[in-house]
Structure 1
Amino acid sequence: MQEEALRVAGCQVIRAEKKTGTSREGRSELDILLQFLRPGDTLIITRIDRLARSLKDLQDIVHELKEKGVTLKATEQPVDTATAAGKAFFDMLGVFAEFETNLRRERQMEGIAAAKVRGVYKGRKPKIDPEEVRRLHAEEKLSPSVIARQLGIARSSVYRFLPRTGGNAKEVGKE
């Protein structure tokens, strides 16, 4: 539906990604889009929360767009950063998008806490089998690096499951 709305709005290039708007990290399509825009362009989005859900990220993006001479418009909201009213409305929508994200996070945490009290919530399933780590180390004499590579985990995770060696380590310069 969003892509269709952008086509109807006359967009020539449409970029989409499935990453959440709660953070700019890992949003490669957004990065490509911001690099692609040139002075005089207009970035059209369907809604503000599709661009970012953090007020700071929204303001940073708009600041980048302004520096490039690019305006921002939304198809479902009266946002046009070329006008004072559009900028003000944009800021208000940004505040509400961040507020909604924070409320959702609070409700999620409350739900998890209640589930823990009932004994229903156990957290995510462990990715690492400690017994397998110990077996590979003891029986197959594999090093922590090889075990980590083989299991697709960090070497520090391997060390967590191995017995401490105590006084076997030598300090540099002491014998």
Structure 2
Amino acid sequence: MSKTIFYARVSTSEQTSDHQENQARLAGFDIDEVVADHGTSGVTTNLADRPNGKRLFDMLREGDVLVVRWVDRLGRNYQDVTDTIREFMRRGVIIKTVINRMTFDGSTTDPTQQAVRDALIAFMAATAQAQAEATKEAQKAGIAFHKEASPEKFKGRKPTFDRAAYDQVMALHQAGQGQSAIAKATGLQRNAVIRITGDPLKVDATLTRWGM
């Protein structure tokens, strides 16, 4: 028996895929199973390399329907998206989008219909990648602007200790001293010692940004 599988992807672990599923159900899709990836980039990670995206390649069978909000949920890399859709169509899977209600079906044998379908797939995949690149450039421009307008903001919180204290903490830590003992010896708060010893490279970078 064929199934309708809904695939969702969100870019950060703080986001939820529920709204994508709800949108699909409100659009009239009768979904049998939901597969979702959270905190996964569509630009840098191919569908087959995602924890749950790769499940689709094992789950989908001839006659199944794969529903996605739009093709950018499959990915934002042109080559990966076009390869993925064509692979699923070769298996007899029908791909449908919630937005614009597009349907990609590999069963058609008419060459004109195939050409139109393939051109549309290519266009949508290219648009998804172009949007991702435009967003990235806009973010870079925004960061550059704010760095110039408010440089202190991008330094992070100013450390409550100086380079000498940092070096002293690291020396005692490498000598095997515990965090409480280091705090007592240096006069620093134990939380500061924990922060230094927990991620010394990050703390070193922060000191450098503040010219310390």
1:52 touches 1:58 (CA, 8 Å); kept in 2?
Answer: yes
Distance in 2 separating the partners of 1:121 and 1:90 = 43
Deviations 1:74-119 (A, max 9, x none): 1222432225334322221111111111111111111222223332
Distance in 2 separating the partners of 1:32 and 1:95 = 24
| Paired letter, 1:61 | T
1:78 touches 1:86 (CA, 8 Å); kept in 2?
Answer: no
SS at match of 1:60: helix
Equivalent residues in 2 for 1:60-99, closer than 5 Å? 60-82=83-105, 84=114, 85-99=116-130
Structure 1 residue runs of 5 or longer lacking an equivalent are 142-150, 161-175
- 1:12 corresponds, among 32, 35, 38, to 32
In structure 1, what is the equivalent of residue 77 of structure 2? 54
Aligned-residue offset at 1:47 = 1.0
| Paired letter, 1:136 | H
1:53 touches 1:101 (CA, 8 Å); kept in 2?
Answer: yes
In structure 1, what is the equivalent of residue 42 of structure 2? 21
TM (norm. structure 1) is 0.66
Distance in 2 separating the partners of 1:152 and 1:31 = 34
1:101 aligns with 2:132: yes
Aligned-residue offset at 1:153 = 6.3
SS at match of 1:4: helix
2:82 touches 2:121 (CA, 8 Å); kept in 1?
Answer: no
Q: 1:60 to 1:116 in 2, by over 3 A?
A: same
Distance in 1 separating the partners of 2:144 and 2:79 = 29
SS at match of 1:16: strand
1:2 aligns with 2:20: yes
| Paired letter, 1:89 | L
Q: 1:152 to 1:140 in 2, by over 3 A?
A: closer
| Paired letter, 1:33 | L
Structure 2 residue runs of 5 or longer lacking an equivalent are 1-18, 106-112, 158-164, 179-196, 205-212
1:48 touches 1:94 (CA, 8 Å); kept in 2?
Answer: yes
Distance in 1 separating the partners of 2:72 and 2:121 = 10
Aligned-residue offset at 1:24 = 2.5
Distance in 2 separating the partners of 1:152 and 1:57 = 38
TM (norm. structure 2) is 0.56
Give the RMSD, CA atoms, in angstroms.
3.3
1:73 touches 1:81 (CA, 8 Å); kept in 2?
Answer: yes
SS at match of 1:44: strand
In structure 2, what is the equivalent of residue 147 of structure 1? none
Aligned-residue offset at 1:139 = 5.2
Q: 1:106 to 1:123 in 2, by over 3 A?
A: farther
2:66 touches 2:93 (CA, 8 Å); kept in 1?
Answer: yes
Paired residues, number: 147
Q: 1:123 to 1:139 in 2, by over 3 A?
A: same
